[in-house]
Amino acid sequence: MYSRNRMKSFNIPDFYKSQLISKVKEIRKVSDPRKKDFSPTVLDFGPVRFFIARHFGFCYGVEHAIETAYKAIEENSGKRIFLLSQMIHNPDVNDDLQKRGVRFLMDTSGNQIIPFSELTPDDIVIIPAFGTTLAIEEQLKAFGIEVRKYDTTCPFVERVWKKSEKLGEDNYTIIIHGKSNHEETKATFSRSEKNAPSIVVKDINESRVLGEYILGNLPLAELRNVFNGKHSANFNPEKDLFRVGVINQTTMLATETQEIAEYFKNIMLKKYGEEDLKEHFADTRDTLCYATNENQEATYGLLRQDADVAIVVGGYNSSNTSHIVELCEEKLPTFFISSASEIRSKHSIRHFDYLNHELLESDTFLPEKEKTDIILTSGASCPDSVVDAVLQKILSFYPSVKSIEEVISEVEAKGTGNALA
The identity of residue 319, as a single letter, is S
φ, ψ of residue 246 to 5 degrees: the values are: -110, 130
Tens digit of each residue's pLDDT, the chain (421 residues)? 444 444 567 788 889 999 899 899 999 989 888 888 999 999 999 999 999 999 898 888 889 999 999 999 999 999 999 999 988 788 889 999 999 999 999 998 889 999 999 999 999 999 999 999 999 999 999 999 999 999 999 999 999 999 999 999 999 999 999 999 999 999 999 999 999 999 999 999 999 999 999 999 999 999 999 999 999 999 999 999 999 999 999 888 888 999 999 999 999 999 999 999 999 999 887 666 777 778 888 999 999 999 999 999 999 988 889 989 999 999 999 999 999 999 999 999 999 999 999 999 999 999 999 999 999 999 888 999 999 999 999 999 999 999 999 999 999 888 655 544 3
pTM: 0.85
φ, ψ of residue 261 to 5 degrees: the values are: -60, -45
User: pLDDT digit string (tens) for 319-348?
Assistant: 889 989 999 999 999 999 999 999 999 999
Nearest to 192 by CA among 159, 150, 162: 162
Q: Which residues 6+ apart lie within 8 Å of 300 measured at CB? A: 38, 327
User: pLDDT digit string (tens) for 209-218?
Assistant: 999 999 999 9
Helices and strands: H and E segment counts in the chain: 14, 14
Strand 372-378 and strand 48-52: the pairing is: parallel
Query: What was the pLDDT predicted at 148?
Result: 92
Rounded CA-CA distance 320/253 in Å is 8
Query: What was the pLDDT predicted at 108?
Result: 85
Query: What was the pLDDT predicted at 284?
Result: 80
φ, ψ of residue 251 to 5 degrees: the values are: -95, 5
Strand order across the beta sheet in which 244-248 lies: 198-201, 173-177, 244-248, 281-282
Rounded CA-CA distance 369/374 in Å is 12
Q: Which residues 6+ apart lie within 8 Å of 174 measured at CB? A: 164, 167, 168, 192, 195, 196, 197, 198, 199, 244, 245, 247
Q: Which residues of 104-143 are buried (b: 16+ CB within 10 A; e: fewer)?
A: bbbebeeeeeeebeebeeebbbbbbbbbbbeebbebbeee
Query: What was the pLDDT predicted at 251?
Result: 84
Query: What was the pLDDT predicted at 2?
Result: 41
Rounded CA-CA distance 277/269 in Å is 6
Domains of the chain: residue spans and CATH: 4-59+291-414 (3.40.1010.20), 61-142 (3.40.50.11270), 155-288 (3.40.1010.20)
The set of catalytic residues is 184
Size (the chain), residues: 421
Query: What was the pLDDT predicted at 420?
Result: 43
Rounded CA-CA distance 90/377 in Å is 15
Rounded to a whole number of angstroms, the CA Rg of the chain reads 23
Within 10 angstroms of residue 27's Cβ, the number of other Cβ atoms is 18
β-sheet bridge partners, residue 335: 311
Q: Where are the beta strands (DSSP E) in 283-353?
A: 309-313, 334-337, 349-353
Strand 103-104 and strand 48-52: the pairing is: unpaired
Query: What was the pLDDT predicted at 5?
Result: 44
Query: What was the pLDDT predicted at 286?
Result: 63
Within 10 angstroms of residue 171's Cβ, the number of other Cβ atoms is 11
Rounded CA-CA distance 287/246 in Å is 9
Sign of CA dihedral 213, 215, 218, 221: positive
